[in-house]
Amino acid sequence: MSQIWVPLHDIPAEGREFSFSDPGLWTEPWKEFGLQYEMIDPLSASLYVSPQKEGYLISGTLTGKVSVPCDRCAEPAVVEVDSQFQEFESTTGTIDEDEGDEAEDEKSDLLRLTGQGWELDAAGLLWEQFQLAVPVKPLCRPDCKGLCPVCGADLNTAPCECEQDQGDPRLAVLRGLKISSS
Ligand SMILES: [Zn+2]
Ligand SMILES: [Zn+2]
C-alpha cells in the first residue's frame, strides 16, 4: 500500500490543516485487496494536526460516495461516506509486542521518527478511516432478499423454483421441538 509521509516537525502550536483528494489513496488499496469498490463521488479528506506534549491530535473529515458489493446479493450498494474523526497518535510508549497490550501506552504505528522529526503516514490513516466508514454488511437496499442458497438466483429479480420451505435440515429438527416454559 502506498504511504504518504507528512512531516510534522514544523507544524505550529495552533496546528495545521492538510487536504487530500488523490483518489489513488483509496482506489489503490481497493485494487491491492481485490475489492470490487467504485468511486461515485470522489472521496476527499482533510486532517487538522495539532501538536501535543506526547503526540499529535488529529481531527478530520472524510466525505464522498462509493459503491461496494451488497453483502447479500453482491450487486452494487451505494455508501455515502460522511465521517468525522478524532485520534491521538502517541509519540511515546512502547511498540506493541504482544497483541494483548493496553492500547493506551502504545506508540502510534502511523508515526515514524526521521532525522527531521516526526512524520505521519497520512495514507495509512485515511485508509483506516475509510474502512471504518463502510458498514460491515453493506446492503444494496434495506430489504435486499439476497441470493437463493440453492440455485444462486438473485431473489430481488424474481423468485426461483427452489423449494424455499425445506430450509436447513438442521433447523427442521428445531422446528419439531416444543417450546416449554417453566
Ligand atoms: Zn443486495
Ligand atoms: Zn433457487
Q: Give the model confidence (pLDDT) of 130-150 as tens digits.
A: 999 999 999 999 999 999 999
Q: Of the ranges 45-54, 69-78, 92-101, which one carries the lowest mean pLDDT score?
A: 92-101
CA dihedral for 135, 136, 142, 144, sign (positive or negative): positive
Q: Is the pLDDT reported for residue 19 higher than 70?
A: yes
Quote the pLDDT of residue 122: 96
Cα(141) to ligand 1 centroid in Å equals 6
Q: Taking residues 151-173, what's their average pLDDT?
A: 75
Neighbours of 167 (CB within 10 A): 11
Query: 17 - beta bridge partners?
Result: 48
d(C-alpha 46, C-alpha 146), whole Å: 36
Q: What is the mean pLDDT of residues 15-26?
A: 96
How many other CB atoms are there within 10 angstroms of residue 125's CB atom?
24
The least confident of 85-89, 136-140, 161-165 is: 161-165
* Domain edges within the chain: 5-133, 145-182
In angstroms, what is the span from residue 151 Cα to ligand 2's centroid? 4
Specify the pLDDT at position 99.
53
When pLDDT is cut at 50, 70 and 90, the band that residue 182 belongs to is low
Q: Is the pLDDT at 95 greater than 70, yes or no?
A: no
What spacing in Å lies between the alpha carbon of 73 and ligand 2's midpoint? 13
CA distance 26 to 124: 10
CA of 38 to the centre of ligand 2 (A): 29
Q: How far is the CA of 162 from the centre of ligand 1 (A)?
A: 19
Distance in Å, CA 9 to ligand 1 centroid:
47
Ligand 2 center from residue 158 Cα (angstroms): 10
Cα 147 to averaged position of ligand 1 atoms, centre (Å): 8
> Separation of 162 CA from ligand 2 center, angstroms?
4
Rg of the chain, C-alpha, whole Å: 23
pLDDT of residue 177: 54
CB distance 126 to 64 below 8 Å: no
Cβ neighbours, 10 Å, residue 6: 17
Ligand nearest to the CA of 162: 2
